Every structure is written in C-alpha cells, then in structure tokens.
C-alpha cells in the first residue's frame, strides 16, 4: 500500500504543480482537487530558437526587434508559458524543402519551431509536424487597373460577339431569301400579272436595311408569303432594337467594370506575362501540382517568372511593365491600402488613387500553420491555445489588423458617376469612316463603269446627246418634257398674259370661275412645272 502511494505521489509530482494539495485531501466542499498541469512550468524561462521569414507586414525584424502579426501570436504564447525566444532567419528567404529554406531548418532541428504562415502541404508531413490550422490563404492576381473596361466598346457592349455575328448573318441572308421566295412565287403563278411581278434584289436588300434603321418602305408585297416575311423581319428588328437600347442604357449608367484577366488560366493568353515571389507556395505548387501545369508552361516559355525582390519593387514592375502579380491576398490588400493612403496624403485626385486592382475570385486556397520538428513536444502545449484563439475569432481579428473594414480599391469604383468616354464612341467613328469609304468606293466604281460604257459605245452616239444616266441612244429632247412656259406660249387663246409686280403670269379661269395665276417666266415657271 505504501509503495502504491509513493508511486502515485511521484507521478503527480511530475504531472501536477499542486500535487501536495492533492495528496493532502479534498477541498472543503468535498470535491476532488483538479490537477494543475505542469506543462506551463516546463517552458518557464526556457529559451527557444524560432525560425521566421521576412514577409512584411506578417513577420519582419526592425532594429533587432521582431514585429508583425506572426510575432503577435508568438508573444501570446510567451505570455502564457513564460519562455524566451530568439529569431533566426533562413539563409534563403523561402519556404524550401528538406535541404533549403525554413522547412529545412525545422527538419534538421536547427530551430525549435517555425513561426510563419506556412502553407500546409501534406507532401511535407514526413519532414515537419504542423500546428493547428490558423487560417486559410487565398491567392489572387493583381494588375494595374485598366483605363477601359474589358467588356468592350460602348456601342458593342450590349451584345456579345456571338449575337453580333448572328445579326450580321441575318442581315445578309434575309434580303436574298425574300427575293428567292418572290421568284419561286412568280414561277408558280404564271398568268397572273399581280403575282408574277418580281421585286428586284437590290430593293429587297434596301428594305432589310431600311427596316433596321426604322424607315418605311415603298414596297407593297402582294402575296401572303412575302407579307409574312416582311412582318417577321419588322417584328425581329423591333425586339432587337428594344433589347439593344435597354442594355446600352444600363451599360452606360451602371458602369460595370470588368478585367481582361479573371484568373490564372487567363494568364496563358496574356503576352505581358506574370511574376511571383521566388520560393513561395505558388512556386512549389506550380512545380509539383499537375493542376497548375498551364502556369508551369508559361514559366518554361519565359512569360512567367519567380523573382527574389521586395514587394515594393514587385509593385513597380506591375505598374510600369503592366505585368500581373500572383500573391497572397492578405499581403496584396496591405500594400494596396498603403499605396492608397500615400496618394491620399499627396492630394492625388480620388479617381486616380487606386492604381492596382485584384481579381474578384481567388485561387489556390490552402491552410496556413506553424511548424515543429518531428519529435517536438511543443505542439502538445501550443496547439490547444491556437485552437482557442481560432475559435474565439482572435486570429481573424489580428489578421485584419491595420486594414479598413471595407473593400480596398474595389473593381467597380462608385466614387464618380459614369460619363461617356471617347472610347465608348470609337465604334461610332468607325461606322462613319467605313460609310464614307464605302461611298467613295461606290462613287469611283460608278464613274469607272459609266466611263467604260461610254468608251465602248465609240462613235455610235454623240457624247453631247447622251443621257446623264448612261442610257445611250436617247436625245435629251426625248428624255425631258418641254418646259411649261413653251407650252403656254404655243396655246393661243388660252387665258391672257398679265404683268403683276414685275412678273409675267397667265391668268385663266378655274372651274369654279375664280381667276388663277400661273407664272410664266423663270424661275417661278421652273418651280411650278415640277410642283404642279
């Protein structure tokens, strides 16, 4: 019995700091005394060597003092367990593997733990032990904010390219379709003067164009089939123009901004290329994960590069070289906010403060945690506290520390109203230019055709006696009726001439018996003969 009591006392001595109270008895209320674990005392005044990465603002050393969000967690552990620590940086500021980087330091037991937001890759489970997951890391694509939306020109924005192509095809096809049906109807209805009348092809084409421009038409189809085609086209154009007008108004009013790059897969189409930090989690994934093989191909052909340089230099490359930066969202938001505040202090106009923009959707989401050596007992002490910090929301709070509660430089800047820009009218300019060029080409073609036709006629007719329309063999006297004044002068006894206010008029009696004045001399007679 005495041996058993001695064994229990020895165990309590090593496990509980209040083992003497436990051995002496129970509490006054009769309840058993709870064991106060000795684990906090095991780290008291112990010196730990902690590895960290230089990742401003997450972790960095300033004037020999470690600072950053990472060391906020380390200091919480220090206050809880009473240990001291020194910070050791890896020779290469990268995550690394078994041979280099911060993972190598933990694996080789050069440090007691790695205090950094390391990506939890289970391929490294044989090298280190991971702590409780602290949060998730989301990667985004950052780029210089484009001056124009990727939706397209203002006049083309209401419909996508497929709709525009189908509209163009319908414009080209409907005119010949109407003409072919009219030809078939004329052949089937031989002997009927009305139904055998054929509308020329050019008139059918101009009807299609006139309906698109909301113009009327002089064509009067006689058959039901042609009338149905005309009505169908009018209904189609009415619906089409209604949708176009509504969508164009919404586009110019709501000012929805879109980016040319929506995610990392779009980088394969970007000739400018992209950059990322050397030794980052992205480099490990690109080299080892087949799901990101498309990024690995861009690295091989030189469009994607992993660089070893500070974040500020990276941002300068993005701004000046129009490169895309692949970075963890938390770091990107911090630097964007810092850039915005600097420009605000410099009184930069509000619409010019957001130089950069990030894609709305994230990619490569993975957990982040600290790392311990394989046979370390620190995880047994620290992980319960980490779990409590995560569940209490303290981790989220610290990670958002120093950032505004609102979105930083959102995709759609609502600070200014949408104004019609010159780029929105680019399509209008192109339509005018193409229209003028087409008119010039048509005019040159008509002149060339008329000249060639005149030359081919040779001496068959006199040039002075050729109709201006190109019809040969008709004299001008045969094309135009005689002037009204000459007709009036030839008819003797028809009314009488009278000079009124210096002008000559022919006074005749109308059917009701009232006198009517008809101008005789030019230019009044010229106007009258064409308006009568």
Q: CA–CA separation, 522 vs 532, rounded Å?
A: 15
Radius of gyration of the chain (CA): 44
Question: Is 339 annotated among the ligand-binding residues?
Answer: yes
Q: Are 242 and 248 in contact (CB under 8 A)?
A: no
The residue to which tokens 């799901």 are assigned: 291
Residue 267 DSSP symbol: G
Q: Is 376 marked as a binding-site residue?
A: no
- The CA-based angle 310-315-321, given to 5 degrees, is 120
Cβ atoms < 10 Å from Cβ of 185: 20
Return the closest-CA partner of residue 140 out of 396, 344, 318, 383.
318
Cα three-residue angle 64-70-71, rounded to 5 degrees? 45
The two tokens of residue 375 are 């046979």
Which of 104, 125, 103, 126 lies closest to 116, judged by CA?
Answer: 103
DSSP class per residue in 498-514: EEETTEEEEEEE-TTS-
- Strand-pairing partners, residue 37, are 16
Q: Terminal CA-to-CA distance of the chain, rounded, Å? A: 140
Separation CA 18–CA 177 (nearest Å):
99
If DSSP states are collapsed to H, E and C, what string results for 109-144? CCCCEEEEEEECCHHHCCCCEECCCCEEEEEEEEEE
Tokens of 265: 């897969």
Contact, 252 vs 424, CB < 8 A?
yes
CA proximity to 115, closest of 143, 136, 89 = 89
What is the DSSP code (8-state) at residue 385? H
Whole-number Å distance between alpha carbons of 405 and 250: 30
Query: In this structure, are residues 57 and 334 in contact, taking their beta carbons and an 8 Å threshold?
Result: yes
**Which residue ranges make up the annotated binding site for L-glutamate?**
280, 339
**Which residue ranges make up the annotated binding site?**
280, 339
């Amino acid at each position: 019995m005495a041996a058993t009591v001695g064994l229990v006392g020895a165990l309590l001595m090593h496990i509980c700091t209040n083992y003497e109270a436990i051995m002496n008895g129970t509490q006054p209320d009769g309840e058993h005394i709870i064991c106060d674990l000795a684990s906090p005392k095991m780290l008291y005044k112990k010196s730990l060597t902690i590895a960290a990465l230089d990742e401003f603002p997450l972790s960095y050393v300033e004037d020999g003092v470690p600072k950053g969000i990472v060391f906020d967690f380390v200091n919480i552990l220090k206050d809880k367990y009473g240990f001291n620590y020194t910070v050791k940086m890896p020779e290469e500021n990268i995550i690394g593997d078994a041979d280099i980087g911060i993972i190598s330091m933990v694996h080789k037991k050069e440090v007691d733990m790695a205090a950094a937001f390391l990506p939890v890759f289970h391929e490294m489970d044989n090298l280190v032990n991971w702590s409780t997951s602290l949060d998730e890391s989301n990667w985004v694509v950052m780029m210089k904010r484009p001056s124009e939306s990727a939706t397209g020109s203002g006049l083309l924005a209401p419909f996508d390219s497929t709709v525009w192509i189908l509209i163009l095809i319908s414009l080209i096809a409907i005119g010949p379709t109407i003409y072919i049906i009219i030809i078939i109807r004329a052949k089937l209805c031989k002997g009927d003067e009305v139904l055998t009348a054929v509308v020329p092809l050019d008139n059918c084409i101009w009807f299609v164009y006139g309906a698109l421009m909301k113009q009327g038409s002089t064509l009067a189809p006689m058959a039901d089939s042609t009338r149905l085609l005309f009505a169908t086209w009018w209904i189609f154009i009415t619906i089409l123009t209604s949708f176009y007008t509504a969508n164009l108004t919404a586009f110019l009013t709501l000012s929805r901004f879109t980016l040319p790059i929506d995610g990392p897969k779009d980088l394969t189409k970007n000739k400018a290329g992209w950059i990322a930090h050397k030794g980052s989690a992205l480099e490990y994934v690109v080299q080892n994960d087949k799901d990101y093989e498309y990024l690995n191909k861009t690295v091989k052909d030189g469009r994607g590069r992993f660089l070893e340089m500070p974040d500020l230099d990276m941002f300068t490359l993005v701004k000046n070289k129009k490169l895309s930066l692949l970075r963890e969202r938390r770091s990107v938001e911090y630097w964007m906010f810092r850039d915005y505040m600097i420009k605000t202090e410099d009184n930069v106009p509000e619409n010019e403060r957001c130089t950069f923009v990030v894609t709305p959707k994230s990619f490569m989401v993975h957990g982040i945690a600290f790392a311990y050596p394989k046979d370390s007992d620190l995880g047994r002490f620290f992980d319960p506290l980490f779990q409590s910090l995560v569940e209490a929301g303290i981790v989220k709070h610290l990670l958002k520390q120093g950032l505004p509660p609102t979105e930083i430089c959102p995709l759609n800047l609502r600070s200014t109203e949408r104004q019609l820009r010159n780029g929105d009218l680019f399509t209008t300019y192109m339509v005018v230019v193409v229209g003028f060029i087409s008119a010039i080409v048509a005019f040159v073609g008509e002149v060339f055709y008329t000249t060639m036709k005149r030359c081919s006629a040779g001496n068959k007719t006199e040039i002075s006696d050729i109709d201006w329309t190109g019809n040969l063999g008709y004299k001008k006297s045969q094309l135009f009726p005689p002037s009204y004044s000459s007709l009036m002068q030839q008819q003797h006894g028809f009314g009488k001439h009278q000079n009124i206010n210096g002008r000559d008029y022919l006074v005749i009696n109308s059917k009701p018996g009232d006198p009517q004045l008809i101008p005789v001399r030019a230019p009044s007679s010229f106007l009258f003969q064409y308006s009568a």
